[in-house]
Amino acid sequence: MAMELFGMGDQIFQEEDLQMGSAVQTTLQNLTRVTHASGPEYRCILNMEGNSVHIVEKPWKCADCGVGFNYPSDLETHQRTHTGERPFICPKCGRGFTQSSALQTHLRIHTGERPFTCSECGMGFISSTNLQTHTRVHTGERPFTCSECGMEFISSTNLQTHKRLHNQEKQFICSKCGKRFTRSFDLLTHQRVHTGERPFICSECGKGYTRSSYLLRHQHVHTAERLFQCINCGKSYRSSQDVMSHQRIHTDVRPFGCRHCEARFRRSNDLLVHQRSHTGERPFSCSVCGKGFTQSSNLLRHQQVHTRERAAQLP
């Protein structure tokens, strides 16, 4: 999206030049508004010498929210956030995008291309934005803070996802099993459990995964890399998420609180399992006897009973 530029004589200024008290700002006065019949609206500002500074407005307005844009193509892209239209479809996994550039970035997940490399640990990323977020793992910067519990995050996306845990907002429902999710992307990923789709394939061993993050974590098995180290005890992990979860052992931060009782947990998954003790939900069922369990590990332990029974019946 183009940035607004401001002109005075032969000089060009960016918007922040006017906002941050530059020499131009101190000479401006007499704000008026001029409408040009053949083009966008301009705001005409006169300085003490009588020269004018024309500030280009954003003439293309969104009918739904009123946000303005410099170009009709930018408005068209923005309107897809209201209509839900995602015309750029990944041929590998079917995920849709509002912009072709976003699709090109996403395709790197499938091709394995990681053009943006961390200077600290050598880890590669598909976009400069992802690299910028990752560098906060090394610097310790957590600029996004939850107003409910004070927990800090390296990205606004992680914060928004976390906030839904407080609100218990899970509006995306699986049509196959009824499981609910806070994000549409998580629902799409979950549905692969039912379809058996594994679009993210390891180039080393051919094993498939439902998420690109699962594939990246798996690939460390082949390289034996553990790039993320706990600053308190030195223990190393394969992902930044794992080391952040581990560090709560040292800080005893328990950001995930149960809405039914006062119990609090270090991990969201521990909270999810605990809540089943209140709701009675037992999503993991034994295919032999039908007994239900709150955790998959408990189901696996139970199934060993049937395995021993069958072994005892053998001649």
pTM of the model: 0.39
Residue with the two structure tokens 């002109």: 7
Domain-wise residue ranges, the chain: 1-85, 88-223, 284-313
What is the structure's pLDDT at 15? 42
Closest CA to 227 of 121, 138, 156, 87: 121
The residue ranges of the chain whose pLDDT is under 70 are: 1-57, 167-169, 223-227, 238-240, 315
Name the nearest CA neighbour of 302 among 313, 293, 314: 293
pLDDT one-digit tens code per residue, 67-119: 888 888 888 888 888 888 889 998 888 888 988 889 999 888 888 888 998 88
pLDDT at 226: 65
- The pLDDT of residue 64: 85
Strands 144-145 and 124-125 come out as unpaired
Tell me the one-letter amino acid at 308: R
pLDDT at 283: 82
Contact residues for 309 (Cβ-Cβ < 8 A; gap 6+): none
Q: What is the pLDDT of residue 5?
A: 39
| Of 81, 103, 83, 78, the residue nearest 92 (C-alpha) | 103
CB-CB contact of 79 with 64 (8 Å): yes
Cα distance from N-terminal residue to C-terminal residue, the chain: 75
Q: What is the structure's pLDDT at 13?
A: 41
Q: Give CATH superfamily name and number for 88-223.
A: Classic Zinc Finger (3.30.160.60)
